[in-house]
Amino acid sequence: MEVISRRQAFALGGGFVMLTLMPMVADAEVTNDAAKWIEKFTAGKEPAKGKIALDLPEIAENGNTVPLSVSVESPMTAESYVKDVMIIADGNPNAGVATLSFTPLSGKAEASIRIRLATTQNVIAIAKMSDGSLFTERKTVKVTIGGCGG
């Protein structure tokens, strides 16, 4: 009977772990759930264009930190205000980037954040108003690799 060394046991165990995890990694890389996020947020209702100003750079030299500013036209009164704004990045493996919530006490429906983009893609903002209406805006951001136009 041959004895397995500690080094061989670790190699066998590591190989088993990799074989076990590979299907999960493959699924995560392929999954683009932008449509699911939008469907869940809008409940199937089609958002109208307008009311949203989405400010993003046309070219992002570093996809790890892309500045984004969003604002929505609204009087922000108890009768009419922006409830939520969802930010979707349709090229990221997990498309749901952020959901921003507002109340009439917010005064303005605007925010500035930094987001992470995996590749060149569309960034979509969807605003849900207090009366149930929905508005959308989208911008394409080209993500370069080290500023080299990739």
User: What pTM was computed for the model?
Assistant: 0.76
Q: Do 83 and 121 belong to one domain?
A: yes
121 within some domain: yes
Can you tell me the mean pLDDT for 131-145? 95
101-112 pLDDT per residue, tens: 999 999 999 999
Return the CATH number at 138.
Answer: 2.60.40.2470
Q: Do 89 and 100 belong to one domain?
A: yes
Q: Do 21 and 61 belong to one domain?
A: no
Q: What is the rounded average pLDDT for all residues in the chain?
A: 85
CA distance to 7, 101, 123, per residue, from 119 (Å)? 39, 27, 11
Q: Do 38 and 2 belong to one domain?
A: no
Identify any residues that bridge with 96 across adjacent strands, giving them in sequence order: 88
Beta strand 48-49 with 109-115 is: unpaired
Could you give the number of structural domains in the chain?
A: 2
> Which residue segment(s) compose the domain that 81 sits in?
32-143
**Predicted local confidence at residue 146, as pLDDT:** 55
Distance between CA atoms of 34 and 45, rounded to whole angstroms? 15
Q: Do 45 and 85 belong to one domain?
A: yes
127 within some domain: yes
